[in-house]
Amino acid sequence: MMKISKNIFIILVLSFVVCQDYSLMNIYWEPESPNKGNDITIYADVSNAEFFKYSHQMNIHLSIDGKKYSTYAMSKDYNQGLFTWAYQYKINQDIYFQIDNNYGFNDIDTHLIKISDYDNPLEEAHILLGKQDYQGCILALKNVINNYQGKVIAAKAEYMIAEILLNDFEEYSLAANYYKNIISSYPYNYQEVKKSMFTLAYIYANYLDYYSDAILLYQEFKTKYPHDDLLSSVDYELENLSKFDKEIKSLLNSSK
């Protein structure tokens, strides 16, 4: 029987762990800067991590000191994506965590969620909006966008501006520009991207008469979010748009 030295065994174990492509998991949490007592949801999108993509179970290992970990099972969140796992946790202090399909912590790709020392960055904007100080509110939101570029909180700020332009001022074209920017600037698993895609398609169809663009956007929504609660509304809108789709195709054929 062949014996394996301790050093070779360690190298083999480390090689196995590394090949599990931890770095290809897209790990994020909401809210991104939680306050003490917040319920946060930790997500792991494994769609690009081949080793984890078809795992029957993903686990999260939590620790408050970075040394002693407790392991919990994660659940699939189909609203976030076909290969996205989630775990909800009430945070009362900074927390370390690591995600994999093992039952024990392996010290690879550890993450830290820190409790925010600051108030909600959007709090000022909400107060100004409540006072109908739209100019001050939008300025505060733009400051958040500049200070948190690419982050979830920036997407929320842009979405608030788009909603103000749409609902308070009925500036459909200006609102559409913000929704388009959100869709192109942030990961599709952000809630604001999903909501922007649906709302932009609705604006195209019902206010700007961009029927072809609306149809394409609704179809893209169905592809990206195949299990979303909004699918029934999307199908309803596509059914209403079908007559325009037929007219457009008829015009294109007659021009050949």
> Could you tell me the CATH number of the domain that includes residue 240?
1.25.40.10
Judgement on whether residues 134 and 174 belong to the same structural domain of the protein = yes
Judgement on whether residues 84 and 133 belong to the same structural domain of the protein = no
User: Would you write out the chain's pLDDT as a tens digit for each of its 256 residues?
Assistant: 444 444 544 444 444 444 457 888 999 999 888 888 889 999 999 999 988 999 999 999 999 988 899 999 999 999 888 999 999 999 989 999 999 999 888 777 789 998 876 567 898 999 999 999 999 999 999 999 999 999 999 999 999 999 999 999 999 999 999 999 999 999 998 999 999 999 999 999 999 999 999 999 999 999 999 999 999 999 999 999 988 755 655 444 544 4
Structural tokens at position 60:
């999260």
Is residue 12 included in any domain, yes or no?
A: no
Indicate the number of domains in the chain. Answer: 2
Is residue 29 included in any domain, yes or no?
A: yes
Judgement on whether residues 32 and 87 belong to the same structural domain of the protein = yes
Judgement on whether residues 68 and 150 belong to the same structural domain of the protein = no
How crowded is residue 14: how many other Cβ atoms within 10 Å of its Cβ? Answer: 12
* Domain containing residue 33: 21-113
Judgement on whether residues 148 and 59 belong to the same structural domain of the protein = no
Judgement on whether residues 163 and 86 belong to the same structural domain of the protein = no
CA distance 54 to 81: 13
pLDDT given at position 22: 81
Judgement on whether residues 227 and 249 belong to the same structural domain of the protein = yes
Judgement on whether residues 76 and 147 belong to the same structural domain of the protein = no
Judgement on whether residues 86 and 40 belong to the same structural domain of the protein = yes
Judgement on whether residues 249 and 158 belong to the same structural domain of the protein = yes
Judgement on whether residues 86 and 186 belong to the same structural domain of the protein = no
Judgement on whether residues 76 and 185 belong to the same structural domain of the protein = no
